[in-house]
Structure 1
Amino acid sequence: MMNEQSHGAEPAEVVDDRWASDTIADFLRQVGLPYIALNPGASFRGLHDSLVNHLGDSDPSMLMCLHEEHAVALAHGYAKVTEEPLAVALHSNVGLMHASMALFNAWADRVPMLVIGAAGPMDAAKRRPWIDWIHTTADQAALVRSFIKWDDQPLSLEATVESLARAWDITRTPPHAPTYVVLDSDVQEQRLTSSVSLPTVSTGKFRDLPIPSQDSLHRASEVLGGAEQPVVLMGRVGRGEKAWDDRVRLVEALGAKVITDLKVGAAFPSSHPAHVAGPGFFLGSEAQRVLSQSDAVLALDWVDLAGTLAQAPTKSARTIVSATQDTQLHNGWSKDHQARPDVAITLPTTPDIAVEQLLEVVHIRPNSTRQADDFVSLPQAYDDDTRLNLGGLARVLRSQTAKLDVCLVRLPLGWDGDDWDFNHPLDFLGYDGGGGIGSGPGMLVGAALALRGKDRLPIAVLGDGDYLMGAQALWTAARYDIPLLAVVANNRSYFNDEVHQERVAHARGRDASLRWIGQRIDDPAPDLAALARAMGLEGIGPVTELDALPSAVNQALELLLAGRPTVLDVVVEAGYSTAMTTGLVRSAPVE
């Protein structure tokens, strides 16, 4: 990661500009953006020309996408690896409407992103007939203001570069979320008669962040250090290796047990004896048991803390310590803040800083016998039959990649968390935040872009519904030679909804065997590998038998190692892990 560096300590004058959009492009280069993802649009044609003819399509380089939603998803995936923002350009109000779902995902997943919108001239006298009128809105950002961090619609070049600088600062300041600046098309295309100074900016991650008060830290230390059965809930934490090691050190100092969550990226080594078996998208049975016995909980920006604690009630007193800045983003429109937790001590900082600070003050009680080695995870249980299900797919994929460093960019809802150990912060990147189906392919491309040229191989296990909604995002990987492997766990159904329909039918005493109607992606079954080949990727499959899977995976890995973006279609039985099924049962209607 880059350290925070200031650029433009003395305001830099741009002396050769002829067009306003050249200055905007210079700003994007100044902040060190390597790429800008976009689907072309006339509302930012001035900026587009400047990126090409003024900057030479370099620093930032354009990444052409086939849909605005995929451009945002790409930047989302990139940020999940690097923790730094990319730029995205969206065409007017129509492009923003296309991108809105992906923006909500990025908001709910708390990732940084500099999003640049555009509009037809705000001066009505300068609008072209018809098209400029329907592509101009009085308050464009109102479409998404409830799930972005900050926005502006400046009306001069000087105001535009200042707004971009502010948006850049705000998106990079935790808690992260996208920011949005609308460029007026007329401003972009103004010929300049004098130079315009660029604002002073910084790049990289902020080094100076809020820290908790010493009083709160010491109270948290006393609660956690004095607990008999402390538990750490590992939520949205950083990808850095030092922060990873710090979390391990803190857990071992406390003698705590650790619960992780497949909704977020890898946060703690799942092979560690303190790790509780059964991580998933819902709280598993072993995690419920451990959490219900806890007397102190440290939540590190845990997603849905109150909902999780409610799944594991305790008969004795339990003190909650929460390290998060998330309340700064909560608003009345989106309920992604979840239920309000009953927290005794709040550490209003990032989880990484909270852990770093706690390590300085935590003390283990004298004569304490609580050690992490006392906590042994349950053994992994696998089916030993010949069925090709998600468990079988996981076993084969893990076996064939055993000697490779893999980054699992995405896993499907039915995945069993015990099927794959995570022992590095880039072993797994988590879900998409907002549950927006169709995000997986674009996020895979963005993560693979961030990992390109590195030793870690980007692999995503996608559901077939997710793949089919977002498959055209993979064209960008073919266009820009971004190696990746998308393994489609193809159950030929929107199976999550089949399960919901079955629950409703049972609750109402109706025919649950009809749950598949309106859900199956079959008759005809789409040729997923052919779809990949049609866009310039490698396509393998469909694989329908377990004994044919190892050779297919090897073929796909050989292509990935050779630098080719590849899709492997694996037809699996429909089914969910125990934790996922339990979670769905809890949320189902009852008689």
Structure 2
Amino acid sequence: MTTSYFSDLLVEFLHQQGIDKVAFNPGASFRGVHDSLVHRDNADMAPDIVMACHEEIAVALAHGYHKASGRHMAVFVHANVGLLHASMAIFNAWCDRVPLLVLGGNGPVDAGLRRPWIDWIHTSQNIESVVKDYVKWCDQPIGQRATVESLYRAFKLMNTPMHAPVFVALDFAVQEQPLESGVRLLPATATEGTRLPALGGADLEHLTERLKEAQLPVLVVDFSGRDPETVAPLVALAETLGLAVVDRGNRMNFPNTHPLNVSHTDRALLADADLVIALEVQDLVGAVGSFLSLTDQGLPANGAEIVTIGFNELLTSKWAADYQQFVPVTRAVAADTAETVGRLRALAEDPAGPFAEPAFAERRERRVKTLSAAHTEARTDWARQADEAKGRARIHVSAAVDEIHRALRDEEWVLTNTGSLTIDGWVKKLWPLERPGSYLGLNGGGGLGYGLGASIGAALAHQGDGTLCVDLQADGDFLYTPSALWTLAAYDVPLLVIVMNNRLYLNSTQHAERIAGNRDRDPGRAHIATSFYDQPVDFVALARSYGVHALRRVERIESVAPTVGEAVDHIKEHGKPVLVEILME
């Protein structure tokens, strides 16, 4: 094809970088690019459009798509109004360390080119200031050459650890200009991320020595599983060294059914830990404090050594405190995760290496026996609790989670979203999270409105590969972005949406109960303005109004598995989405 306008070159850039989908709610400020995306002569290179009814949904689509596939879905947002709508979802992606390419239209910076009224209110100086404190890089280039350079720089920085969103504003007038002579794309490889080396030198020697000496070394993982290829080597490393593993669970980092995984067990088990290796851990105080008593400085009271490996210090915001409490650790190393795990594994498995001594082997075997027994005891107890909960009059979250898995256990499923900390906690206790990429984590920023859009994005990434994508969807989060159902239906996305409907903003209700109790007031009024008891939402009717197949509401525990099974059969037969609503306590 012949590139005629600068917006055609922008589409060519997306194609060059392997972007096969773009998401947006349409807006006039990127009408030049929109025309180039739908232009017949660009059909062979233009990414597919995924239309959303809100910018927050569009960004969440790209967020979930990348977490599920490692591929990019670009997002376009309309001028300042679209960027403001998108800002919450961009913040979620920032906290979740997900690289997103967000491209924003902007009215003509040249005031002489503005139409009356609308172009004036939709043009901003320094438009990137809306999100500059929670994107990795942003720019407002003016001119074609400057815009090309900005796109390559943004893409490269986005892909360099630590990963995070980037934003580039595309001037309204520049998009629509004929392509200037000599303006062309750079080589595709120009966007390859800068690489970090593996752990080595004195840092590797120190960690090796400490692992040899430690009586109870603990490996804490959090984000390492964003690269699914790290899971198997990490398991092999833990087995060879007999490491206790605590998985903070922002990704599927380590199989939760593995006997060395002692996450959520009795904290007394690890009270004597003398070495903590934190691999890509975001909240270090929360992680270490889950099993060790800490001083007011965040250090282990028992003097345990902490070594951090990852990229956290390479990305901090001056506005958002998502970097968490400062901990004066023994060693902090910025190193490539996969390469580091591979290097440590090679040392651990070397038959003539530092861990081949009989004394170490004996110590390792004692640890493994103790950890495995605690792991089995904890999982047995969690299963017992879920079974007992099935006898309650109203459906309890643990019982629902267990019965949902019973209906899905023979499928190749991916959990695209688990809705809330309560649901997520029971999933990690009851479901076998064993396959890399089978669990995608929560929203990152703690902001509602993520689940449905991100799950649609993840299901789009798996569309056609036979994977069953499952969204355990909290009702309060759903009500932020219900129009995502339109996108779900319009593109026949094969997603199983299970609405876990307790008719509450549960966390807010719990806080209201706590403050009432602290003040010796009536906790029975905690549901006021935190619940939907008086005006309940019919999610089945809502889904059907958008054209999504929805089954009858489930109100009894014995109906959960059969109804979910029926939904799965429908998805497999028709390749279209299904919604199931479960009314629960």
Q: TM-score, normalised by structure 1?
A: 0.90
| Number of the residue aligned with 2:287 | 308
Distance 1:548 1:204, change over 3 A: farther
Q: TM-score, normalised by structure 2?
A: 0.91
> What are the equivalent positions in structure 2 for 1:245-324 lying under 5 Å apart?
245-262=232-249, 264-278=250-264, 286=266, 288-311=267-290, 312-313=292-293, 315-324=301-310
RMSD: 1.8
- 1:472 is aligned, of 472, 483, 496, to 483
Q: Higher helix share goes to which structure? A: 2
1:146-168 Cα deviation digits (max 9, x unpaired): 00000111111111111111111
> What are the equivalent positions in structure 2 for 1:105-124 lying under 5 Å apart?
105-124=92-111
| Number of the residue aligned with 2:329 | 343
| Number of the residue aligned with 1:497 | 508
Residue identity opposite 2:287 in structure 1: T
Q: How many pairs were matched up? A: 551
CA distance in 1, matches of 2:191, 2:146: 24
CA distance in 2, matches of 1:424, 1:89: 33
> What are the equivalent positions in structure 2 for 1:43-58 lying under 5 Å apart?
43-53=29-39, 54-56=41-43
| Number of the residue aligned with 2:422 | 414
1:397 offset after TM fit, Å?
1.0
1:206 offset after TM fit, Å?
5.1
> What are the equivalent positions in structure 2 for 1:342-361 lying under 5 Å apart?
342-361=328-347
- 2:391 is aligned, of 386, 394, 407, to 386
| Number of the residue aligned with 1:330 | 316
Q: Secondary structure at the match of 1:183?
A: strand
> What are the equivalent positions in structure 2 for 1:202-221 lying under 5 Å apart?
202=189, 208-221=195-208
Q: Secondary structure at the match of 2:88?
A: helix
Residue identity opposite 1:55 in structure 2: N
| Number of the residue aligned with 2:351 | none
Q: Secondary structure at the match of 2:49?
A: strand
Distance 1:57 1:502, change over 3 A: farther
| Number of the residue aligned with 1:583 | none
CA distance in 1, matches of 2:340, 2:180: 51
Residue identity opposite 1:300 in structure 2: L
Contact kept in structure 1, 2:99 and 2:158, CA below 8 Å: yes
Q: Please say if 1:401 is aligned against 2:380.
A: no
- 2:566 is aligned, of 555, 569, 573, to 555
| Number of the residue aligned with 1:481 | 492
Contact kept in structure 1, 2:109 and 2:171, CA below 8 Å: yes
CA distance in 1, matches of 2:190, 2:519: 57
1:365-424 Cα deviation digits (max 9, x unpaired): 532221335422122332334331111111111111111111111112212231112111
Contact kept in structure 2, 1:84 and 1:112, CA below 8 Å: no
Q: Please say if 1:229 is aligned against 2:216.
A: yes
- 2:77 is aligned, of 90, 93, 117, to 90
Residue identity opposite 1:400 in structure 2: A
Contact kept in structure 2, 1:81 and 1:239, CA below 8 Å: no
Q: Secondary structure at the match of 1:247?
A: helix
CA distance in 2, matches of 1:248, 1:183: 45
Distance 1:22 1:268, change over 3 A: same
> What are the equivalent positions in structure 2 for 1:21-32 lying under 5 Å apart?
21-32=7-18
1:465-506 Cα deviation digits (max 9, x unpaired): 011112211321211121001111100010111001111111
Q: Secondary structure at the match of 1:232?
A: strand
Contact kept in structure 1, 2:472 and 2:497, CA below 8 Å: yes
CA distance in 2, matches of 1:315, 1:327: 24
1:204 offset after TM fit, Å?
9.4
Contact kept in structure 1, 2:220 and 2:287, CA below 8 Å: no
| Number of the residue aligned with 1:569 | 581
Contact kept in structure 2, 1:84 and 1:172, CA below 8 Å: no
Distance 1:356 1:203, change over 3 A: farther
1:434 offset after TM fit, Å?
0.1
CA distance in 2, matches of 1:240, 1:164: 25
Contact kept in structure 2, 1:85 and 1:172, CA below 8 Å: no
User: 5+ unaligned residues in a row in structure 1: which ranges?
Assistant: 1-14, 279-284, 574-591
Q: Secondary structure at the match of 1:375?
A: helix
1:532 offset after TM fit, Å?
1.1
Contact kept in structure 2, 1:217 and 1:347, CA below 8 Å: no
Distance 1:366 1:345, change over 3 A: farther
1:451 offset after TM fit, Å?
1.3
| Percent identical | 37
User: 5+ unaligned residues in a row in structure 2: which ranges?
Assistant: 294-299, 349-353
1:43 offset after TM fit, Å?
0.2
| Number of the residue aligned with 2:524 | 513
| Number of the residue aligned with 1:579 | none
> What are the equivalent positions in structure 2 for 1:529-544 lying under 5 Å apart?
529-544=540-555
Contact kept in structure 1, 2:155 and 2:191, CA below 8 Å: no
Distance 1:205 1:187, change over 3 A: closer
Residue identity opposite 2:579 in structure 1: V
Contact kept in structure 1, 2:225 and 2:437, CA below 8 Å: no
